[in-house]
Amino acid sequence: MTEALALLGFGPTGWGDEILAGVGVTIALALATLPVGLTIGFFVALGKQSEEQTIRLAANIYTTIFRGLPELLTLFIVFYGAQIGIQTAYAWITGSETVIEVNAFVSGMIALGVVFSSYASEVFLSAFRAIPKGQYEGGWSIGLSGWNTMRLVILPQLIKIALPGLANLWLILLKDTALVSAVGLSDILRQTGIAARVTKHAFLFFGTACMVYLLLAIISSFFINRISDWASKSEAAR
Amino acid sequence: MTAVTAKVQKPIAPPKPWTRERTIGWALVGLWIFIIGSLLLWMVEAWNPELFDRYFPKYVSGLIITLELVAASIVLGALLSFPIAMMRMSRNWLLNKISYAYVYFFRGTPLLAQTFLIYYGLGEFRPQLEAIGLWGFFKDAWNCGVFAFTLNTAAYQAEILRGAINSVAPGQWEGAASLGVPKWLTFFKIILPQAFIVALRPYGNEIILMVKGSAVVAIITVYDLMGETRRAYSRSFDFQTYIWAAFIYLAIVEIIRNLWDVMEKRLTRHLIR
Q: Which of B104, B113, B242 is closest, CB to CB, to A73?
A: B242
Please give the angle made by the CA atoms of B258, B260 and B262, to the nearest 5 degrees. 75
The answer to whether the beta carbons of residues B141 and B64 sit under 8 Å apart is: no
For residue A51, which phi and psi values (nearest 5 degrees)? -80, -20
CB contact under 8 A, A210 and B125: no
pLDDT of residue B16: 78
Mean pLDDT lowest among A27-41, A82-96, A114-128: A82-96
pLDDT of residue B133: 80
Q: Which residues of chain B from 216 to 235 reach within 8 Å of chain A, CB to CB?
A: 216, 218-219, 226, 229-230, 233
pLDDT of residue A236: 54
CB contact under 8 A, A55 and B25: yes
Residues 6+ apart with CB under 8 A from B56: none
Mean pLDDT of A26-37: 95
What Rg value do the Cα atoms of chain A yield, rounded?
Answer: 22
**A40: number of Cβ within 10 Å:** 19
| Mutation for A interface: B20, B38, B112, most A CBs within 10 A | B112
**Closest of B65, B58, B114, B117 to residue B222, by C-alpha:** B65
pLDDT of residue B138: 85
Q: Which residues of chain B from 13 to 32 reach within 8 Å of chain A, CB to CB?
A: 19, 21-22, 24-26, 28-29, 31-32
Instruction: Count CA atoms within 13 Å of residue B116 on its CB side.
Output: 30
- ipTM confidence: 0.88
Q: Which of B29, B104, B124 is closest, CB to CB, to A58?
A: B29
Whole-number Cα distances in Å, B214 to A110, B116, B181: 22, 13, 43
Separation of alpha carbons A22 and A28, rounded Å: 10
**Closest of B213, B239, B207, B236 to residue B226, by C-alpha:** B213
pLDDT level of residue A237 (50, 70, 90 thresholds): low
A-chain residues near B121 (CB < 8 A): 196, 202-203, 206-207
**CB crowding B157-169: b at 16 or more within 10 Å, else e:** bbbbbbebbeebe
CB contact under 8 A, B110 and A175: yes
Q: Give tens-digit pLDDT for A196-214.
A: 888 888 899 999 999 999 9
**Closest of B245, B241, B251 to residue B46, by C-alpha:** B241
pLDDT of residue A177: 94
Q: Which of A51, A189, A193 is closest, CB to CB, to B21?
A: A51
Separation of alpha carbons A222 and A203, rounded Å: 28
Within chain B, residue ranges assigned H as helices are 20-45, 49-89, 93-108, 111-119, 126-131, 135-138, 141-167, 170-178, 183-186, 192-213, 225-236, 240-267
Q: Which residues of chain B from 132 to 191 reach within 8 Å of chain A, CB to CB?
A: none
Mean pLDDT of A39-68: 92
Inform me whether the pLDDT recorded for A97 exceeds 60: yes
pLDDT of residue A1: 64
**Higher pLDDT, residue A235 or B20:** B20
Find, in chain B, the residue whose alpha carbon is nearest to that of A181: B112
- B35 to chain A nearest CA, in Å? 12
Separation of alpha carbons A76 and A78, rounded Å: 5
- Name the amino acid, one letter, at B32: W
- A146 to chain B nearest CA, in Å? 14
The answer to whether the beta carbons of residues A127 and A158 sit under 8 Å apart is: yes
A-chain residues near B101 (CB < 8 A): none
Separation of alpha carbons B246 and B42, rounded Å: 15
- B220 to chain A nearest CA, in Å? 11
Q: Which of A57, A202, A217 is closest, CB to CB, to B29?
A: A57
The answer to whether the beta carbons of residues A14 and A7 sit under 8 Å apart is: yes
CB contact under 8 A, A81 and B28: no
Taken in order B129, B215, B236, A108, the sign of the CA dihedral is negative
Whole-number Cα distances in Å, A20 to A15, A17, A186, A200, B141: 9, 5, 11, 20, 29
**Higher pLDDT, residue A238 or A227:** A227
Secondary structure of residue A153 in the 3-state scheme = helix
CB contact under 8 A, A193 and B229: no
Find, in chain B, the residue whose alpha carbon is nearest to that of A82: B239
Q: Give tens-digit pLDDT for A163-196.
A: 999 999 999 999 999 999 998 889 999 999 999 8
pLDDT of residue A233: 76
CB contact under 8 A, A203 and B125: yes
CB contact under 8 A, A193 and B22: no
The answer to whether the beta carbons of residues A151 and A216 sit under 8 Å apart is: no
Which segments of chain B have a pLDDT < 70? 1-6, 273
Distance of CA B37 to the CA centre of its chain: 29
Q: Which of A52, A61, A196 is closest, CB to CB, to B32?
A: A61
The answer to whether the beta carbons of residues B145 and B122 sit under 8 Å apart is: no
**B243: number of Cβ within 10 Å:** 18
| Mutation for A interface: B36, B109, B225, most A CBs within 10 A | B109
pTM over 0.80: yes
**Closest of B94, B88, B124 to residue B106, by C-alpha:** B88
CB contact under 8 A, A69 and B246: yes
Q: Which of B19, B22, B124 is closest, CB to CB, to A202?
A: B124
